[in-house]
Amino acid sequence: MRIATYVHDGRRHHGVVEDTVVRPLPDGVSPLDAVGVRPVGPAVPLADVRLLPPLEPPTIRDFVTFEEHVEGVRRSVDGATGVPAAWYDAPTFYFTNPYAVVGPHDDVPVPPGSQVLDFELEVAAVVGREGRDLTPRQARDHIVGYTILNDWSARDLQAREMQVGLGPCKGKDTAATLGPYLVTADELEPYRDSEGFLRLGLTATVNGEVVGEDLLSNMSWTFEEMVAYASRGSVVRPGDVLGSGTCGNGGCLAELWGVRGERRPPPLRPGDTVTLTVEGIGSLTNTVVAGTAPVPLPAARRRTRERP
């Protein structure tokens, strides 16, 4: 099943996509509960609806599972070469902002104060039921489906913030695109290879020009292993989103900048359109628009460190 969340005639619906139409699900059925539920009501052409993010995730964990991406973007962001030895130990992730999620065709504003905006092509697994301390084998039954994730990144803000040692902050806080649909896990089983990876073709274009192509099976950990790691000593719950991390070979501009030693193609500007396509899932197309100016804040006060 391909499950969409959309607006039609001023109302928000969940529905099942069939070719070029969507059929609404019964009221009260969420995308996470839609497997096996029959749609009701008449079919509506997709051209007549506004697609929203397929779900409203309570959390978004964004992993970094493509070695090629780590090599390129690390060189671009902080000038370092190679891959940190610790990266090979486990599928590392950070939590990003679930309130910044936008739809598959929404405009994306430039983050306040940024001059170096970038896209990031990822696939995300969506958790369908709660689990703790899962094994990878158990985790497979906890993945309800997959969607595309564009983890928009303000590279100039990110580079400065990460010098503090806490990771990205406002560099990742303005937008994250999810969509166009939640594709249930069974639909992608034919793409699974002998090692458990999903062999899906990935393509990124900017203003119609291809800038990146890769295979999702170039991940170094499977989604099941990622879910298992996320649940270690913790819990994953329905609706949690786990991003693969950015693919290699042009899955973002920063990787290309690191490899080429120059900002070519240039950072995204208002009017640029980014399309991310994943085999078996669909496409996202977002246009960059001007953002707001940052609200001024003072620099840190240097304190005397008095004690009571």
Q: Based on the domain organization, do 92 and 46 belong to the same domain? A: no
Query: What are the pLDDT digits (tens) for 75-133?
Result: 877 777 889 999 999 999 999 999 999 999 999 999 999 999 999 999 999 999 999 99
- Per the structure, how many domains does the chain have? 2
**CA gap 261, 297 in Å, rounded:** 33
Q: Is 299 a domain residue?
A: no
What pLDDT, on the 0 to 100 scale, is given for residue 80? 78
The model's pTM: 0.97
Among candidate residues 230, 179, 175, 184, the one with its CA nearest the CA of residue 55: 179
**CA gap 217, 189 in Å, rounded:** 13
Q: What is the mean pLDDT of residues 58-76?
A: 93
What pLDDT, on the 0 to 100 scale, is given for residue 39? 96
Helices (H) and strands (E) in the chain, counts: 6, 19
Maximum pairwise Cα distance, the chain:
71
Q: Based on the domain organization, do 230 and 188 belong to the same domain? A: yes
**Domain of residue 20, residue span:** 2-52
Among candidate residues 250, 213, 23, 6, the one with its CA nearest the CA of residue 105: 6
Torsion of CA 79, 174, 276, 47, to 10 degrees: -170
What pLDDT, on the 0 to 100 scale, is given for residue 235? 98
Q: Is 300 a domain residue?
A: no
Q: Based on the domain organization, do 132 and 46 belong to the same domain? A: no
Q: What is the mean pLDDT of residues 209-228?
A: 98
Q: Based on the domain organization, do 217 and 247 belong to the same domain? A: yes
Q: Based on the domain organization, do 253 and 188 belong to the same domain? A: yes
